């Protein structure tokens, strides 16, 4: 057998012995929301990444419906506290950041769309952070915690 054929046979045998890659876990709604939030923040100049202040100027909750291609079909205010300009900025931030990555088929649940809520946390200077991107913050009303702070031993 010539060296070229021997190399091809060896490669085929070795390829058959290779361990397949681990399966990729299905995309969750939280995974998808994280990707959308990261894109919104990347597309906006009016965000902050410092810790969220104890007192916020406004909290705007949007319901976002995205189609199978990642285009927003509907962006509506689910909750606002009267600052219409900030509500409009939140909606505009979503629209301007689109299109988003296409959601996996399992998220569409046969409807062809996926809907979720995103919360915009506005500071006094009108810069915002997205609730999806905020880490655990004990004591903040928008972050529930299942654990209590440690009891004092004094």
144 inside domain: no
Residues in CB range of 147: below 8 A, 6 or more apart: none
53 inside domain: yes
Tens of pLDDT, residues 94-142: 999 999 999 999 999 788 999 999 999 999 999 999 999 996 554 454 4
Does the model's pTM come out above 0.85? no
149 inside domain: no
Confidence band for 69, pLDDT divided at 50, 70 and 90: very high
Higher-confidence residue: 34 or 22? 34
CATH number for position 77 = 3.30.1150.10
Are 98 and 44 contacting, i.e. CB atoms less than 8 angstroms apart?
A: no
Range of the domain at 104: 25-133
Query: 64: which strand partners?
Result: 75, 116
5 inside domain: no
Average pLDDT on 9-31 reads 63
18 inside domain: no
Element (H, E) at 64: strand 58-67
């Amino acid at each position: 057998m010539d060296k070229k054929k021997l190399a091809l046979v060896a490669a085929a045998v070795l390829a058959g012995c290779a361990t397949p890659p681990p399966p990729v876990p299905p995309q969750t709604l939280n995974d998808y929301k994280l990707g959308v939030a990261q894109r919104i923040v990347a597309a906006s100049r009016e965000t902050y990444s410092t810790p969220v202040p104890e007192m916020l100027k406004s909290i705007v909750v949007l319901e976002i419906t995205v189609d199978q291609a990642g285009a927003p079909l509907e962006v509506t205010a689910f909750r606002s506290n009267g600052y219409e300009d900030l509500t409009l900025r939140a909606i505009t931030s979503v629209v301007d950041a689109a299109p988003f990555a296409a959601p996996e088929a399992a998220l569409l649940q046969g409807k062809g769309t996926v809907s979720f809520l995103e919360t915009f946390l506005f500071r006094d200077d009108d810069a915002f952070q997205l609730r999806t991107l905020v880490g655990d913050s004990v004591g903040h009303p928008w972050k529930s915690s299942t654990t209590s702070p440690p009891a004092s031993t004094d």
